[in-house]
């Protein structure tokens, strides 16, 4: 697992994949300091982007290429598909996440990891209308019984876990899910700042697919960010 890239949360991001050391390679860049030149097709995708979006995109693609180096894949373009998803090299699964302060990229060989999603969110209090949109009644009941930092950041962590899950789901199924398609159950490790999560499918199509049952979810609270990852191990 590669940790390249400046930042204080690298250990938290790597810890999400502690069960898949050597399979998943993750790079975190706090402050968007990674800024290697883009390939022509990548540059075309952000030709009209505002400066902040350009910084995020460049840092994300640079972090992704550094993560790919952990798979012995040399510099290559990661174009933007029509649906705005990254186009990874053949045989690779990956995920990129941005917050206002950092970018994360994680990649793996699809023979080892069938699906992968990662998310990072700056700690902030969500507005009630956002909580209502993100958290199902089931999510809210579960969070009401929480304690410590998990309780303090619960709605944001639900959002992050669902984002990671949907990023893992979309490349395989090519359809969007609403936030009420699934509920999340969190389990805290000793110390209360890391743990696992389970995805409970509620949408009929998602439930029928069995995808949620295959997902291994991990979360972490580190400094001013929450992190979440969703992994589906491959057949090997």
Binding site feature residues for CoA: 53, 61, 97-98, 119, 163, 167, 177
d(CA 211, CA 200): 10
Burial of 236 (C-beta count, 10 Å sphere; 0-12/13-18/19+): exposed
Please state the residue numbers annotated as binding site for Mg(2+). Answer: 119-121
Please state the residue numbers annotated as binding site. Answer: 53, 61, 97-98, 119-121, 163, 167, 177
d(CA 72, CA 53): 29
d(CA 90, CA 78): 11
């Amino acid at each position: 697992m590669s940790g390249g890239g400046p930042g204080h949360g690298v250990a938290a991001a790597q810890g999400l994949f502690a069960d898949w050391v050597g399979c998943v390679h993750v790079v975190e860049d706090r402050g968007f300091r990674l800024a290697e030149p883009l390939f022509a097709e990548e540059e075309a995708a952000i030709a009209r982007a505002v400066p902040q979006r350009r910084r995020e995109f460049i840092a994300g693609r640079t972090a992704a290429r550094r993560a790919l180096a952990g798979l012995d894949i040399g510099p290559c373009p990661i174009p933007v598909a029509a649906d705005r998803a990254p186009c990874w090299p053949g045989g690779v699964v990956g995920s990129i996440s941005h917050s206002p302060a950092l970018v994360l990229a994680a990649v793996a060989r699809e023979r080892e990891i069938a699906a992968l999603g990662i998310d990072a969110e700056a700690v902030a209090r969500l507005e009630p209308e956002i909580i209502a949109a993100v958290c199902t009644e089931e999510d809210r009941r579960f969070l009401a019984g929480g304690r410590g930092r998990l309780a303090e950041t619960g709605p944001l962590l639900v959002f992050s876990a669902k984002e990671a899950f949907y990023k893992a789901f979309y490349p395989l199924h090519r359809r969007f899910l609403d936030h009420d398609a699934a509920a999340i159950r969190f389990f805290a490790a000793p110390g209360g700042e890391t743990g696992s999560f389970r995805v409970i499918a509620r949408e009929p199509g998602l439930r029928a697919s069995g995808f949620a049952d295959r997902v291994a979810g991990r979360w972490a609270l580190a400094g001013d960010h929450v992190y979440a990852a969703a992994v589906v191990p491959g057949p090997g």
